[in-house]
Structure 1
Amino acid sequence: MWGRFADGGPPALADLKRSGRPPRFIPMQVAEAKALACQLPAETGLPLSRRSCPELAAELTARGVTDTVSASTVRRWLRQDALKPWQYRSWIFIRDPHFPTKVQRVLDLYARTYEGELLGADEYVISSDEKTSVQARCRCHPTLAPRRARAMRVNHQYGRGDALIYLAAYDVHRAKVFGRCEATTGIVPFMALVEQVMTQEPYAGAKRVFWIVDNGSSHRGKKAVDRLIKAFPNAVMVHTPVHASRTNQTEIFFSIVQRKVVQPNDFTDLTQVRDRLRAFENRYNAPAQPFQWRFTTSDLDDLLARLDRHTSTDRHQESSIALAA
């Protein structure tokens, strides 16, 4: 090193060229691979719904983008931008023209507010829904408990033991669940649930009890509102927007029921299902705390603003394509 410095000064201290394999792929090839991954196969006439990395590698070679490339190399390229074309997520677009108003009303009730005023101590919010088709599947062989280095084993074959409907009403702020099992869903079972709740205190003597429901046939439209008020004048029905039942907190309780009670669904008959559901209600109500609902009206405003920007962008792109055509 000292000799190099003596001969050439500071520039001579720079790293010397080393031997090694030159890069096989140029940045343009990597960019074309990522662009191909971001295309729907149907747009290029391929009979595929999604491409895997081996299929992307084969397509790049067939198009002459690369001489040859491995699936692992393509996967490494996509990982740089977190692209996973072999996966997908489903979504649904807002269809309810009154979506913002309806969602804000529900979110306000969760925050103990209605029409700009705080709810009183004698006003309550009930979230209600139905869990359909809870089946009784009697496994052909007994379920085996977990063992060391072995998960629980549930036999794949089973005998069908019919199904029931599980209706639940959840007091949002008191974290209390009222449930019942019925053979079918409909107006009569739903009103039976309402009566089960509204005929006991503190709801019977409450100033107002708000019932948050989705748009199912059991409680849809103005007729359902009038039917509820006629039966219980202090009840107020509040509908979630169409296709927005996730704003109903009972859905959270049902997800807990699915994980802790129903799965892996090994029941001898419907009686055992009913008994398990009733016992779980008692167990759940004892130490229950209200759900920590974090989605507020401010979050709703931000969400709607983002959706509006995306929609405006899509409309602009469609107009540009139409003009170009």
Structure 2
Amino acid sequence: MANRPAPALSLRDGDREELARWTRSSSTRAGLAQRARIVLLAADGSSNTEIADKVGVSRPTVISWRKRYQDKGIDGLVDQERSGRPRHIDHREIVSATLTPPPKKYGVTHWSTRLLAKHLSVGDATIARAWREYGVQPWRSQTFKFSTDPELVAKVTDVVGLYLNPPENAVVLCVDEKSQIQALDRTAPMLPMQPGLPERRTHDYKRHGTSTLFAALEIATGQVTGACKNRHRHQEFLAFLKQIARAYPDQELHLVMDNYAAHKHTNVKAWLAANPRVVVHFTPTHASWMNMVEIWFGIIERQAIHRGTFTSVPDLNAKIRAFITGWNNRSHPFVWTKTAEQILAKANRQKTSNAAH
């Protein structure tokens, strides 16, 4: 004997309107709307198999929710409170796991949200929220370096003293060289910037040699004395020192320099001894950032070299000299703000942190 379709489900008074509202409301949970639709179709006389096909569930599921409605009405369709404490994800545990290197089986150097989420069996968004709350950014990395110079305190105090309280009737110059500046020429002409389009250039280029820029930055005015040379040996450096001396005749000069070997060559020392009006102040080892001419090197790199096109080394040198001329026409003082105490305190923190790890 063939199975007969289940009889139409009888709805309680007022339930049809409420069930219909559940199926239409965007705020109703998907599962609850699906159950309401099953009950409404059953009340319209659809067979369990037809309802299963229309709603996209199994036939036993349809039978189960029909019975729940028959026994308990609308209340039987609502999810019951589950036993036990709701799951709570502690963001501190996520951060602790983030700070632990990933297991070797993953073959990665740091966690991503997806990988850590899979490892901890939580959602990606949960990992991202925990990282935002605690300011953890595993994808970022920075470098650090601290000076091991035994005269660190004396040199920092000396150089910063020049910047903050320069000697009266004396000129303070920051001196250094920017070596290996490449004369790069593009293989096709650049396409100029247009509305809605940035400047465009080919990714490939031709090399035409290199140049070295020697520069002396006067901190009180921002004026720069420069020279382009083919090499950066002590001979070229000594020639540049003589050029500086000619540019500032009969004035006491205080030169801030790093510890590059050419700066301490015997011939350089002999020339300095013969010219006592030129006094040298060395920055600590691994602290060339204290030389303010490095700031200016960054400026010329961004504004004249990085995006420049140079057909030869003489062309490169000419454009560097043109930039220096333009810079001196609009120069401004370079102002140092950090005290020696602040710099030394930070250096001590870095040493302590490094020792702890």
- Residue matched to 1:84: 137
2:146 corresponds to 1:93: yes
Q: Distance in 2 between matches of 1:282 and 1:290?
A: 16
**SS across alignment from 1:86:** coil
**Residues 139 and 157, structure 1, Cα contact 8 Å, conserved in 2:** yes
Q: Distance in 2 between matches of 1:217 and 1:295?
A: 27
- Residue matched to 2:111: 51
Q: Distance in 2 between matches of 1:309 and 1:47?
A: 31
Please list every run of 5 or more consecutive structure 1 residues that lacks an aligned counterpart in the other structure: 1-18, 61-65, 114-118, 319-325
Which one of the candidate residues 92, 96, 103 is aligned to 1:35? Answer: 96
- Residue matched to 1:289: 332
2:158 corresponds to 1:109: no
Which one of the candidate residues 273, 277, 280 is aligned to 2:323? Answer: 280
Q: C-alpha deviations, 1:235-269, integer Å up to 9, x for none?
A: 11111111100000100110000110101232222
Q: Distance in 2 between matches of 1:307 and 1:90?
A: 12
Q: TM-score, normalised by structure 1?
A: 0.78
Q: Distance in 2 between matches of 1:261 and 1:194?
A: 25
**Rg larger in 1 or in 2?**
2
Which one of the candidate residues 202, 211, 220 is aligned to 1:155? Answer: 202
| Aligned CA distance change for structure 1 residues 187 and 135 (closer, same or farther; 3 Å) | same
- Residue matched to 1:213: 257
**SS across alignment from 2:109:** coil
Q: C-alpha deviations, 1:86-117, integer Å up to 9, x for none?
A: 1111111332122121111000011234xxxx
Q: Distance in 1 between matches of 2:105 and 2:174?
A: 48
State the Cα distance separating 1:189 from its structure 2 match. Answer: 0.9
- Backbone CA RMSD of aligned residues: 2.6
Q: Distance in 1 between matches of 2:99 and 2:307?
A: 38
| Number of aligned residue pairs | 278
**SS across alignment from 1:286:** helix
State the Cα distance separating 1:24 from its structure 2 match. Answer: 7.4
**SS across alignment from 1:73:** helix
Q: Distance in 1 between matches of 2:260 and 2:348?
A: 28
Amino acid at match of 1:165: T
Q: C-alpha deviations, 1:159-206, integer Å up to 9, x for none?
A: 111111111011121321011111111101111111111023xx3212
- Residue matched to 2:124: 71
| Aligned CA distance change for structure 1 residues 96 and 25 (closer, same or farther; 3 Å) | farther
**Residues 198 and 232, structure 1, Cα contact 8 Å, conserved in 2:** no
Q: Distance in 2 between matches of 1:224 and 1:242?
A: 22
**SS across alignment from 1:166:** strand
- Residue matched to 1:260: 303
Q: C-alpha deviations, 1:53-103, integer Å up to 9, x for none?
A: 22222322xxxxx3xx33333112211111111111111133212212111
Q: TM-score, normalised by structure 2?
A: 0.71
| Aligned CA distance change for structure 1 residues 185 and 125 (closer, same or farther; 3 Å) | same
State the Cα distance separating 1:232 from its structure 2 match. Answer: 2.2
Could you tell me the percent identity over the aligned residues? 26
State the Cα distance separating 1:214 from its structure 2 match. Answer: 0.5
Q: Distance in 1 between matches of 2:135 and 2:244?
A: 49
Please list every run of 5 or more consecutive structure 2 residues that lacks an aligned counterpart in the other structure: 1-78
State the Cα distance separating 1:45 from its structure 2 match. Answer: 6.9
